[in-house]
Amino acid sequence: MMTQPSDADPEEEQPQVTNLTQVDVESVHAELVRMHQSSAQKIEADEVELHQAAAAVVKATQVSTHESAVGMVQANDVQMQNSGAGALRAERAHLNGYAGAVLANSAELGNTYAGLVAAREVRGERIESLVLLASHVEGDVKTVVDTRMALVAGMVGGLFAGMVFLLGRALFGRRS
């Protein structure tokens, strides 16, 4: 376990593998971080594995979680099983659990509840979201606002605002 690095070159001090079990830490920097029943405020690594763990911020190339909670995840590849994330940003995301927001190029969601899903491709089974914005969707999706609904709502809202503006100007505009 390593907390904030000193003034020396971080590459020299960064451990290759950090295994944490039943501990709470502020910051972890390593090539590979494995956490079991632990928590961290910030994790920076090439690869992160969380099992029954929690982290506020995770920045990595590859993230894998099982029965864990993460505030913000930023990675190329994310795989979350029975886990939750406040916000997830990834090139490829595989999620089975809960997320506040998912931003990805490709998202594969299974039995997932999400507030916002924005991705180029969304695949999955039993996806429930408030807002879904995607170019291509495959699977059983239940959503309050999809891409088409967002466009229609924007157009109707703009039209309504324009009419109110014109009506207000006509009724209360300056008279010469």
pLDDT per residue as tens digits for the range 79-126: 999 999 999 999 999 999 999 999 999 999 998 999 999 999 999 888
Q: Which string of b and e fits 125-144 if b means at least 16 CB within 10 Å?
A: eebbbebbbbeebeeebebe
Residues 21 and 58 in one domain: yes
Q: What is this structure's pTM?
A: 0.74
Residues 161 and 141 in one domain: no
Name the domain count of the chain: 2
Domain of 159?
A: 148-176
Residue 137 lies in a domain: yes
Residue 1 lies in a domain: no
Residues 171 and 105 in one domain: no
Query: Which secondary structure element, helix H or strand E, spans residue 147, and what is its range?
Result: helix 147-172
Pairwise CA distance, residues 174 & 176, whole Å:
7
Q: What is the mean pLDDT of residues 147-176?
A: 79
Residues 159 and 117 in one domain: no
What average pLDDT does the structure give for the chain?
87
Whether 144 and 131 have beta carbons less than 8 Å apart is answered as: yes
Residues 102 and 122 in one domain: yes
pLDDT at 49 over 60: yes
Residues 153 and 134 in one domain: no
Pairwise CA distance, residues 36 & 19, whole Å:
8
Position 45 scores a pLDDT of 96
Position 65 scores a pLDDT of 97
Residue 5 lies in a domain: no
Residues 168 and 136 in one domain: no
Q: What is the mean pLDDT of residues 126-140?
A: 87
Residues 122 and 67 in one domain: yes
Residue 2 lies in a domain: no
pLDDT at 164 over 70: yes
Residues 57 and 83 in one domain: yes
Residues 95 and 170 in one domain: no
